[in-house]
Amino acid sequence: MMDIRKRGHSFVLIIVIGLLFLPVSNSFAGLRSERTEQQLPDVTITNLTFSESEPKEGDNITVSITVRNNESRDISNLNISLVDMYFERNLTEWEAESIEGKNESTFNYEWEPEGGRHNITAMVTFNGLELDRRSEEIWVEPEPIGDVYSPILALIIIFVVIFGSVVIPSVIAFMTNKNSSRERD
Amino acid sequence: MKSIKKDILEDMKNTCLTISFELKKHFRMKRMIISFALAIGLPLIFYLVPKIWASFPDTAEEFANLNLSFVNLLIIISGSLFAGDAVVGEFEEKTGLLLFSTPQRHTTIFIGKYIGALLPTLTVVSIYYFTTSLEIIGIYGTGGITLEFFKSFFIALVYTTSAVSLIFFFSSILKRKITSTLLGFFSLMMILPIVSSVLQFIVEVEPWYILTYFEGLITDVFVGAPPIGGGPQGQAGQFSPDFYMGLSVMLVYTIVLFFLSVFIATRRRME
């Protein structure tokens, strides 16, 4: 009985010590994350625009991204990528770019989109860590599909075949009668 | 011996007789009234509900796309109503004993029955489009009726012929009216679309040989083909139905199944 009680006490003691150390360990983690945040450059995407607001499929659109360096020092080794989210496609990527302190750079991409709704997302990364992202949606009017004459032609073929099939038995009967009369001759 | 000209004229007369008999039968059984009421009532919902509680879409294309997305359903319902029991009914109810003993060629009977099922189904689709066009003119003016609207109408008619052929085929091979009608309805409504989806998304093969894969063409003409690779609603797909391929498949379904049905029905005997 005594042994069980002793064990129970030591178990409670371990938990209490653990709980006491928890805030200390959390504060260490906080320090670490603050340090990482401090090291990350302050860069933002200020603009993401399209040269046409109502483009049609097949049009060439220029996608412009403006990236601003909010720090006074120059920042290099920035990666800027452009992704078509709905279509799950990487459009382009600018690697190891540098922006001067308190300055901004504009990146242009010539894009020939497919018809439909697109979600274009620009992302700035530094050493694999995402600094900022911005998304814009755009509707690209699809190219008209097909023509009006083909279904009309298909309908004409169908009606000719169906109504024409009424004649087939008479023609077959005529041909067989002709052949049998020839055989008789 | 009868001349071929007389023979053809007689066959045509007999076919017309069967068509008129079939149309009268559909009228008497109130199938016409039900389907015509649906063809007027369904598009009216798309007009009255937004008029009372909400607003109409911005463009005539968007309105037509929304409204006509239900025309497939009407094609399937009216096709099953008119063609579901066309052949099998004669065998199940033994009315064929009277009909087949007439001097009329059996082929003309079945061709007449097919046309007798096809004509009212096409009329139902035309009424649906006519009602929709009146609504579009009422909301957006005559400019709302574009070439795309006519394109959609003609594709819907071609799709109707193929759907009727498929249901008529079931009617010629099955033994019971109810089985034939239900199989026709569910194959177009559920079975073929499920097979098509499984092939597209699991097997990753384009189901170009399945009729219902192309049913979306009726409304795709307004908004373009569904994009390959995804969309805002997460409709990721690797394939997009091609317009001309779709028309060809519908055409083949219509003609092949029509001839097969007539061939099987003429060789079928009363049990």
- The ipTM of this complex is 0.91
Q: Cα–Cα distances in Å, from B234 out to A112, A117, A118, A137, B231?
A: 22, 11, 12, 15, 5
The type of residue at A168 is: I
Question: Is the minimum CB–CB distance between B240 and chain A shorter than 8 Å?
Answer: no
Binary contact (A173, B7; C-beta < 8 A): yes
Domain range for B215: 4-267
**Distance of residue B179 Cα from the nearest chain A Cα, in angstroms:** 26
Q: How many domains does chain B have?
A: 1
Stretches where chain A sits below pLDDT 50 are: 1-2, 31, 35, 184-185
Binary contact (B148, A89; C-beta < 8 A): no
**Distance of residue A174 Cα from the nearest chain B Cα, in angstroms:** 6
Binary contact (A169, B147; C-beta < 8 A): no
Binary contact (B154, A167; C-beta < 8 A): no
Rounded Cα gap, residues B254 and B248, in angstroms:
10
Binary contact (B229, A89; C-beta < 8 A): yes
pLDDT, one tens digit per residue, over A35-68 is: 455 578 899 999 999 999 888 888 899 999 999 9
Report domain extents, chain A.
1-39, 43-140, 149-184
A43-140 carries CATH number 3.40.50.2300: no
Q: Which residues of A touch B115 (CB under 8 A)?
A: 162-163
Count Cβ–Cβ pairs < 8 Å, chain A vs chain B: 114
- Cβ B250 vs Cβ B162: under 8 Å: yes
Interface of A with B (CB under 8 A): 57, 86-89, 114-117, 119, 137, 141-148, 150-152, 154-155, 157-158, 161-163, 165-171, 173-174, 177
The type of residue at B98 is: L
Rounded Cα gap, residues B240 and B248, in angstroms:
16
Each residue's pLDDT, cut to its tens digit, for chain B (271 residues) gives 568 888 889 999 999 999 999 999 999 999 999 999 999 999 999 999 998 888 888 888 889 988 999 999 999 999 999 999 999 988 888 888 888 888 888 899 999 999 999 999 999 999 999 999 999 999 999 998 989 999 999 999 999 999 999 999 999 999 899 999 999 999 999 999 999 999 988 888 999 999 999 999 999 888 776 665 555 444 556 788 899 999 999 999 999 999 999 999 998 887 6
